[in-house]
Amino acid sequence: MSDRPNRDNQNNARGGRPQRSGGPRRRDDRNDRGERGDRRERGDWEDRRGNREDRRGRPGGERRHAQRAGADRSPHKRSAPQRSGFREERLNKRMTEPDLPDDIDIHDLDPLVLQDLKVLSKDNADAVAKHMFMAATLMEDDPQLALRHARAAKDRAGRVAVARETNGIAAYRAGEWREALSELRAARRMSGGPGFMAVMADCERGLGRPEKAVEMGRSEEARQLDREGAVELGIVIAGARLDMNQPESAVVTLQRLNPDLGSTGRINARLSYAYADALAAAGRVDEAKEWFAHADRIDEDDMLDAAERLSELS
């Protein structure tokens, strides 16, 4: 079965999409960040969630930027003149922002996220942080409302990398592939690093361009990813190969990541599942059953439907 991105069910465990929740992290989520770029592909709010990545949206590691927002600004440089109607447009956008609960504690966000927002005025920084908090909180249960909050944060802080990242991950979760690509590219330009590659490649699949996802796997940036980021990107590329009706190529893609029947852990469970899926698509049913069984054994978080797939093949 192909693991093409599922626009109707953003949490489908059978898909080849990176299982991360990217964007700003709440303080107690810092050990489960999903694809942030320089951390774990790190994206998932789990990345920030990121590489993060890992954003969902990424375990371990501190979020760091190659360049902090505003770090290269000179006090002698003047801002570009604002275009006509800019102020009115900004006010209109703020009037349509989603409501914010009164009891939000912005200090539940990662302190490094709050540090990035200090380039803004205090009132604006507080509002951006609250919208980012709501985006992170609603990502799983109401991705459309999460995206509205993320857009509000981006509109208020468009030159802050974490705000663009939040918008990108939220758009990805809501199935807005084109918007997600645009925002994540902007975040990467601002912060540097190879982050978000798996999410961005998966957006290319969602846009019906699996060949572009495959091209990303051949890039120099792909070689900079850590183990987890490389696995997440490999899973997406294998899915792109299945989209292109190339199951044997999908198998080879995942073999390069050295799947191991003695492995444990979340990322290896996902790799084993994707490998089993590619084997099944290639008609190698006995091998697929072995790997689905392994994925089921080590899936401690019960995120995958490996047992169901195994039953289907028996």
Cβ atoms 150, 23 nearer than 8 A: yes
Instruction: Select from 281, 279, 203, 221 the least CA-distant residue to 245.
Output: 281
pLDDT computed for residue 60 by the predictor: 31
The Cα–Cα gap between 314 and 311 comes to: 5
- Mean pLDDT, residues 18-26 taken together: 46
Residues 49-90 have pLDDT tens digits of 333 333 333 323 333 333 333 334 343 444 455 566 656 666
Return the higher-pLDDT residue of 16 and 272.
272
Q: How is the chain split into domains, by residue range?
A: 1-65+93-223, 246-314
pLDDT computed for residue 83 by the predictor: 62
Predicted confidence band at 177 (pLDDT cuts at 50, 70, 90)?
A: very high
pLDDT computed for residue 96 by the predictor: 83
Cβ atoms 40, 33 nearer than 8 A: yes
> Rg of the chain's alpha carbons, rounded to an integer?
20
pLDDT computed for residue 81 by the predictor: 55
- Residues 6 or more apart whose Cβ sits within 8 Å of residue 72: none
- Mean pLDDT, residues 183-212 taken together: 95
Give yes or no for residue 241 having a pLDDT over 70. Answer: yes
Return the higher-pLDDT residue of 308 and 35.
308
CATH code of the domain occupying 246-314: 1.25.40
pLDDT computed for residue 64 by the predictor: 33
Ordered DSSP codes for the chain: ------SS-TT-TTSSS-----SPPBGGGTTS-B-BTTTSSB--BB-------------SS----SS-TTTT--TTPPPPPPPTTHHHHHHHHHHTSPP--TT--GGGB-HHHHHHGGGS-HHHHHHHHHHHHHHHHHTTT-HHHHHHHHHHHHHH-TTSHHHHHHHHHHHHHTT-HHHHHHHHHHHHHHH-SSTTHHHHHHHHHHTT-HHHHHHHHTSTGGGG--HHHHHHHHHHHHHHHHHTT-HHHHHHHHHTT---TT--SHHHHHHHHHHHHHHHHTT-HHHHHHHHHHHHHH-TT----HHHHHHHH-
Predicted confidence band at 314 (pLDDT cuts at 50, 70, 90)?
A: confident
Sequence letter at residue 259: P
Q: Which residue(s) pair with 288 in the sheet?
A: none
The Cα–Cα gap between 218 and 216 comes to: 5
Return the higher-pLDDT residue of 92 and 137.
137
Predicted confidence band at 218 (pLDDT cuts at 50, 70, 90)?
A: very high
The Cα–Cα gap between 52 and 168 comes to: 12
pLDDT computed for residue 6 by the predictor: 41
CATH code of the domain occupying 1-65+93-223: 1.25.40.10
Phi, psi of 82 (to 5 degrees): -75, 140
pTM of the model: 0.73
- Mean pLDDT, residues 255-268 taken together: 97
The Cα–Cα gap between 220 and 232 comes to: 16
Residues 80-98 have pLDDT tens digits of 555 666 566 666 667 789 9
pLDDT computed for residue 195 by the predictor: 85
The percent of residues above 90 in pLDDT, for the chain, comes to: 68
pLDDT computed for residue 107 by the predictor: 94
The pLDDT mean for the chain works out to 80
pLDDT computed for residue 21 by the predictor: 37
HSE, CB side, 13 Å, CA atoms: give it for residue 149. Answer: 26
pLDDT computed for residue 183 by the predictor: 98
Domains 1-65+93-223 and 246-314 share a fold: yes
Cβ atoms 102, 131 nearer than 8 A: no
Assigned token pair, 206: 């969602």
Assigned token pair, 263: 């492995």
